[in-house]
Structure 1
Amino acid sequence: MSRDLTALFAPRSVAVVGASDDHSKYGNWISVRALRGSREVHLVNRTRPTVLGRPTVPSLRDVDGPVDLAVITVPAQGFAAAVDDALAIGVRAVVGITGGLGDQQDEIARKVREAGACLLGPNCLGVLDCSTNLELTSYDFPAGQVAMISQSGNIAIELAGPLADAGLGYSRFASLGNQADLDAADLVDACAEHDETRAIALYCEDFRDGRRFARAAARAHAAGKPVVLLAVGRGQASARGARSHTGSLVTDGVVVEAACDAAGIELVSTPTEMAHLLQALLRTRPPRGRRVAVFADGGGQAQVASDCLEAAGMDVPRFTPELAADVAADLPPAAATENPVDVAGGGEQDIGCFSRITATLTETGEVDAVLLTGFFGGYGEYGPSLAAGELAAAHDIAALKGNVVVHTMNWRSLAADVLREGGVAVYRSVEDAVWALDRLTRRGAHVPPGVPPIPPAEPPLRGNDYWTARRFLSSAGLPFPPGAEVRTLAELRAARLRYPVVLKALGDDHKSDRGGVVLGIDTPEALEDAWHDVATRLTPEACSVEEMADTSVELILGVRQDLRFGPVVLAGFGGVYAEVLRDNRCALGPVSKERARRLLLSLRGAPLLTGFRGRPAVDVDAAADVLVALSEVAAAHPELAEIECNPVAVTPHGALCLDARIVLVP
């Protein structure tokens, strides 16, 4: 259930604690903007009788009348007392600008929650809601339809620039700060329910409860409000000392990507990418497919756009003779009409051809989107008649119902403004237009699987040696070849297994690299020889002897427990080459059978699973069953930091786990 943040975004009255005449202080910047609105504003300063020409009170307890929202900008040593004053007079929302609170912020947040209020921050930049004329920030943000939730004030300021260039702005802005109380999930929920918000932009360095955040984003997606996330630290591994391949392959970045995939979140790397994608999401429907018509007024730009599209995996199909003839009817004889289309000077002769040809291309079933690229928007400089005609063409293009994206070197022109105001995404560079179109197409093809629930925890596992892990996972339904744990030569001789067998030295995570795995042992004498050799060289605590299994394909299947997002499932091509090949996919666990199959079949090497060059297909369903069982075990056992079965031998007739490793949470 989402929290009621009415007092934060639509307060009836506001108090600024630490209001100041000093232009270098937040108390001044926020007071100036607070006074621009129509609601009642109380300025609190314990030493000055007036601020900004307005009377002050020395404390919140001295305010005459109710206060819904208090913005506290005082130094750290006075913050807790100011919060106590706010709660004492019934304040329902606190915005903490103050930083440097250290450990005391948790106690302050507890008091706020127990009072039924909410705290944004501390160490934040403020809050903004254009729909309620609330402006309690230190910066003038452009108004628009994007809710910006950011843990960095500068990122929010940087994004505002390219958004404004595209004719966009903020419906709401909330600075997360330290998230002592309100976190990203709370604010995503609130913005998803906000009528004036059409998309949500988020910059976050720490998700706290990542599952909860992902579920909130999924609700926003279901409500038709796309969430675009800029997350940092995605290039660094979160488990540098991981004992398993899974731990090193499932990095922080991979975990965030898995959460985004589950919830339908769009992940970007820079504020510029965020602005480009937001423009596309707000102005262009996701195309049904990857077929694009290129419409240019210059041969060079037609070719550059076509190359960019094909490099992005888009298709620039040749038109049928019928469509090419329809296009040619509107253009001079020298025009190229088979895709890409080049008007060859036809724009100056008949500026209306831009809208007519774009209409023809959007109405055909031969393409899924149109990329208009070149000089459009600059013809108006040649004379009044061309200027009027160009604006009319821009209005007609904006009125079309098809998927049109525009790149123009005249992106600041009146015609470009008409396109943007009419709902057409306009870009300054063709590579940005193509990138946005590619992202839109991918979004249209992806159905988010949703964020799976976590089951109740089961009694914790004690111990994590190989045979403990193997017995534990066997009891959960994972298949292993027959084997025995042996510590003495007598136990080795007593093992009743079919040859050939494999001998593994236990207690060494890198046994393969050290010659601790001996394969293809086909007689009892050879087994004893291998035992003596391994015992002499490695002195293992014990060995495992197991029947050899047939192998068509070796997979790595594992789960890593993430502190923020819970179990994250890994599927990839494995064996000793797992980290070399790095052909793997991840998802939030636990996964369903269908989800597990999709993960396996999305690997780059999936043809090795489905049959390649005459080789038979392997039992993907059996491998999927192993992944499902692993994910369910991990979800029910949060004490398991990592589980890994590598390799899992998959044949046309089934799957067997040939190794198992469990790492417990310290």
Structure 2
Amino acid sequence: MTACAPRDLTALFDPRSVAIIGASNDETKYGNWLSVQALRMPGTRTLHLVNRRGEPVLGRQTVKALTDVAEPVDLVAVAVPAAGFEEAVKDALAAGAKAIVGVTAGFAELGAEGRALQERIVKRVRDAGALLLGPNCLGVLDSTTELYLASNPMPTGRVALLSQSGNMALELSGFLAARGHGFSRFVSLGNQADLGVADVIRSCTRHQGTDVITVYCEDFGDGRAFVAAAAEAAAAGKPVLLLTVGGSEASIRGAQSHTGALTSDSAVIAAACRAAGIRRVHSPRELADAAAALLSFGSTGVRRVGVVADGGGHAGVGSDIVEAAGLSVPEFDASVSDALRALLPPSAAVTNPVDLAGAGEQDITSFARVLETTLSNEHLDAVLITGYFGGYGGYGDALAAREIETAHEMARIAREHGKPVVVHTMHHSSEGARVLAESGLPVFAAVEDAARTLAIFGDGKTPPALPTLAETAEHAAASDSYWEARELFRAAGLSFPGAALIESADAAAAAAEDIGYPVVLKAMGLLHKSDSGGVALGLADEDQLRAAVQDMQQRLNPPGFCVEAMADLRDGVELIVGVQSDPRFGPVAMVGLGGIFTEVLKDVAFALAPVDHATARDMLDGLRAAALLRGVRGRPPVDLGAAAAAIAAVTSVAAHHPEITELEVNPLLGTPAGALGLDARIVLAP
């Protein structure tokens, strides 16, 4: 895990003085947009507008160069053409700048030459003890310090947004404003040449004005640093919401193992999110919905949901959608159902989901009483209200007034219990719905949006301790030969059948005599031995063994052979455990059903490596084939503790050997008596 001291970003978020190099009256230029927003800042902060012609900008006097400013300047925004950017940075540093916002584009995003220029500028900034945001960004905003140095105005609130996309940030701004929320901080990350997303998350974690941290990121840079920073935020009670690309299941290119072929960008990001307690969303609207819900109810866990509807159709559909989102709709205890039965007509459903069966029309306040009873159930974590609420007021003024009163009462009940309550209504624009929304109960026009928002809360479990990586290899360099890979895993604690490395049929016969028949013969020097016909199983005697050696010598001419004891497969389950090195997040572990079914069934789970025993158990329990491991139809259960220990041992090899890009044990045989490696593969980095 990358560890580093948090950087001091005071000059970026709360500078005493600010300058804009490239200030302009031209409304098509960033220098104009930044200046318009900067002029909104209070007079307690000095603002210098730098215009190379020295003409007034927006009615404000300017200077031709930053060198004309007598006082030191803490924060400098640079919005000049790329050809003048490096010189502008020199001027900013000479003026004492501790932070620079690079709005200018045209660097690493254009190729090698632009990257070299960008790296040279970053070195200059760091050597001066300053920091650089961007380049190629829209600026920075901190509503708590009244710093407005971004291209657009944004609503104020308790949400920090860190975004690599300007337009995505502006769209989210609109969604949040529509929900009555806004930004404590907005940071346009740009190219992350110096300041990265992890640096800014750490600063927002310590920021008293921020309650929720939202991130749109395409390049995580040092992925392990990002995970560590997000985990720190979650531990501090500031949930991190992530919107990113990479959701396709395209396999990592050039993979040479099953593990590599099955590991996608999406799987890696999901593993990183689980490790850090990050809540992942899939659209700007979902991001805004989730942020609003977390602001209302905090980081509580949600798994068991009560569904309250005013019609059988909404009750059934709502329940299905909640469960499709990975949550449960458990049957109520008899005491809860009895309490609900006393409130509702005889035709009402009271076991979960709840169908008011016309009670809303007869007495609109029944919604509040049902909500109170449902939230009082200690076996529920949240409630979804779905259907018609908000539309009853259309039947008359008296009912409209009672509906609004009931909405206020429902909001009070939800606040009192502290459990998430979300509302789906076909009348989401009504006065009753508005009262609920303004009181902090998220209101949705689509029930699936409401269910996804509940799923964002997660199960409330604390993620395991983040895996750590060795800074350098702690052991001798790994080899990609089967025998040495096998011995490396054995040294890490994984058991293998008895075996011997041999070169001839005579040596094979002698080794098998010591090991005991039946045996397995494996040809060395082949990455995919089975696919090449380099494995012979169940050789029962010397004649069969000698024939197999002769056959492989003629077909494959391998440098040698391995003779191994044949494992008893009858009560075992074949698993695969592997690690793929991701360029952003480092080693990623995969566990799944192994043997010949690995790529057919693709029943796999992922986690950042190395994994500990508890995480390995969670990965096994999360497989669709987990029932096989626990014993089914007369088969004895696998020793899950031994299987988890074996998984932890395999993934520890990757942590200690950065020269390995892929590794796997396939199959790993889980049995009632333990776990046994039956094949091993290592792929070294080029």
Same fold (TM over 0.5): yes
How far apart in 2 are the matches of 1:46 and 1:475? Answer: 67
User: How far does residue 285 in structure 1 lie from its aligned partner after superposition?
Assistant: 5.5
CA shift, 1:336, in A, is 4.7
- Give 2:529's aligned residue: 511
1:380 to 1:116, Cα distance in 2 relative to 1, 3 A: farther
Question: In structure 1, how many angstroms separate the alpha carbons of the residues matched to 2:351 and 2:205?
Answer: 44
Give the aligned partner of residue 47 of structure 1.
53
Asked if residue 564 in structure 1 is aligned to residue 584 in structure 2, the reply is yes
- 2:524 and 2:646 map into 1 onto residues whose CA distance is 23
How far does residue 290 in structure 1 lie from its aligned partner after superposition? 4.1
Q: 1:486 to 1:29 in 2, by over 3 A?
A: same
Contact in 2 for aligned 1:166/1:426 (Cα 8 Å)? no
Q: Does 1:129 align with 2:142?
A: yes
Match for 2:540 among 522, 538, 541? Answer: 522
Change (3 A) 1:78 1:481: same
CA–CA distance in 2 between the matches of 1:640 and 1:581? 26
Is residue 480–residue 684 contact of structure 2 (8 Å, CA) maintained in 1?
yes
Q: Structure 1 residues 347, 624: CA separation in 2 closer, same or farther (over 3 Å shift)? A: closer
| TM-score (norm. length: structure 1) | 0.94
Q: Give the drift of 1:341.
A: 3.4
Q: Deviations over 1:294-348 (max 9, x none)?
A: 3223443233223323444544455566544543554556655454434444434
Q: CA deviation at 1:353?
A: 2.6
1:406 corresponds to 2:410: no
Checking the alignment, whether the CA contact within 8 Å between 1:371 and 1:406 is kept in structure 2 is yes
Are residues 1:583 and 2:599 paired? no
Q: Which secondary structure does the structure 1 equivalent of 2:144 belong to?
A: helix
* Paired residues of 2:478 and 2:657 also in contact (CA < 8 A): no
Name the counterpart of 1:36: 40
Which residue of 254, 259, 262 corresponds with 1:241?
Answer: 254
Between 1:279-288 and 1:254-263, the stretch displaced more is 279-288
Instruction: Look up the match of 1:230.
Output: 243
1:35 CA displacement: 0.6
Any idea what SS the aligned residue of 2:105 has?
coil
Question: Which range moved further: 557-566 or 71-80?
Answer: 557-566
Deviation digits for residues 369-402 of structure 1 (CA, Å, limit 9, x no counterpart) = 3221222223444554434333322221111233
CA distance 1:343–1:597, shift in 2 (3 Å): closer
Q: Higher mean Cα deviation, 370-379 or 574-583? A: 370-379
What's the % identity of the aligned pairs?
A: 54
2:95 aligns with one of 89, 114, 123: 89
Q: Could you say if the C-alpha distance between residues 263 and 367 of structure 1 is closer, same or farther in structure 2, counting changes exceeding 3 Å? A: closer
Q: Which range moved further: 286-295 or 190-199?
A: 286-295
Aligned residues: 664
Deviation at 1:589, TM superposition (A): 2.1
Corresponding residue of 1:419: 436
Change (3 A) 1:460 1:257: farther
Deviation at 1:50?
1.2
Identify if the C-alpha distance between structure 1 residues 319 and 267 changes in structure 2 by more than 3 Å, giving closer, same or farther: closer
Check if 1:74 corresponds to 2:80: yes
Residue identity matched to 1:429: A
Distance in 2 between the 1:549 and 1:245 partners? 22
Query: Aligned partners of 1:318 and 1:475: how far apart in 2?
Result: 50
Q: Deviations over 1:165-204 (max 9, x none)?
A: 3222222110111111100100101111111211111111
Distance across 2 between alignment mates of 1:617 and 1:488? 40
Task: Give the direction of change, closer, same or farther, for the CA distance of 1:569–1:165 in structure 2 (3 Å limit).
Answer: same
Q: Which amino acid is the alignment partner of residue 631 of structure 2?
A: G
Amino acid at match of 1:464: D
**Aligned equivalents of 1:323, 1:602: Cα separation in 2:** 32
Distance of aligned partners of 1:615 and 1:174 in 2 relative to their CA distance in 1, 3 Å threshold = same
Q: Which amino acid aligns with 1:520?
A: G
Letter in 1 for 2:141: L
Deviation at 1:149, TM superposition (A): 0.5
**Equivalent position to 1:17, from 1, 21, 39:** 21
Instruction: State yes or no: 1:205 paired with 2:225.
Output: no
Residue number among 69, 78, 91 corresponding to 1:63 in the alignment:
69
Q: Do the aligned partners of residues 316 and 475 (structure 1) sit closer, same or farther apart at CA in structure 2, a change above 3 Å counting?
A: closer
Aligned runs of 1:277-288 on 2, under 5 Å? 277-284=290-297
Residue-by-residue CA offset, 1:416-438 (whole Å, 9 max, x unaligned): 33323322222221111122223
2:516 corresponds to 1:501: no
Q: Distance in 2 between matches of 1:322 and 1:587?
A: 41
- Tell me by how many angstroms 1:156 deviates: 1.3
Within a 5 Å distance, the mapping from 1:229-628 to structure 2 comes to 229-237=242-250, 239-284=252-297, 290-319=303-332, 323-331=336-344, 335-365=348-378, 367-400=380-413, 401-402=416-417, 403=419, 404-440=421-457, 442-444=458-460, 446-457=461-472, 458-461=474-477, 463-495=479-511, 496-551=514-569, 552-628=572-648
Residue 673 of structure 2 corresponds to 653
> Are the structure 2 counterparts of residues 520 and 332 from structure 1 closer, same or farther at C-alpha, using a change threshold of 3 Å?
closer
Given the superposition, is the C-alpha separation of residues 100 and 623 from structure 1 closer, same or farther in structure 2, using an over 3 Å criterion? same
Any gaps of 5 or more consecutive residues in structure 2? 108-113
Deviations 1:501-523 (CA, angstroms, capped at 9, x unpaired): 11122222232123221111111
**Closer, same or farther in 2 for the Cα pair 1:142/1:652, shift >3 Å?**
same
2:475, 2:581 → 1: CA distance? 17
Cα displacement (A) at 1:655: 1.9
- Which letter maps to 2:532? R
Checking the alignment, whether the CA contact within 8 Å between 2:478 and 2:485 is kept in structure 1 is no
**Residues 59-208 of structure 1 mapped to structure 2, 5 A cutoff:** 59-101=65-107, 102=114, 103-208=116-221
CA contact (8 A) 1:290 1:368 kept: yes
Does residue 638 (structure 1) correspond to residue 658 (structure 2)? The answer is yes
State the distance in 1 between where 2:632 and 2:346 align: 49
Q: What secondary structure does 2:567 align onto?
A: coil
Distance 1:318 1:587 in 2: 33
Q: Which amino acid aligns with 1:537?
A: R
- 1:560–1:643 Cα contact (<8 Å) kept: yes
218-227 or 538-547: bigger deviation: 538-547
Instruction: Give the alignment's Cα RMSD to 1 decimal.
Output: 2.3
1:97 CA drift (Å): 0.6
**Would the aligned equivalents of 1:550 and 1:649 in 2 still touch at CA under 8 Å?**
no
- 1:523–1:333: structure 2 CA closer, same or farther, 3 Å change rule? closer
Q: Which moved more, 1:213-222 or 1:327-336?
A: 327-336
Q: Aligned equivalents of 1:233 and 1:622: distance in 2?
A: 35
Helix, strand or coil for the counterpart of 1:136?
A: strand
Q: Which moved more, 1:302-311 or 1:125-134?
A: 302-311
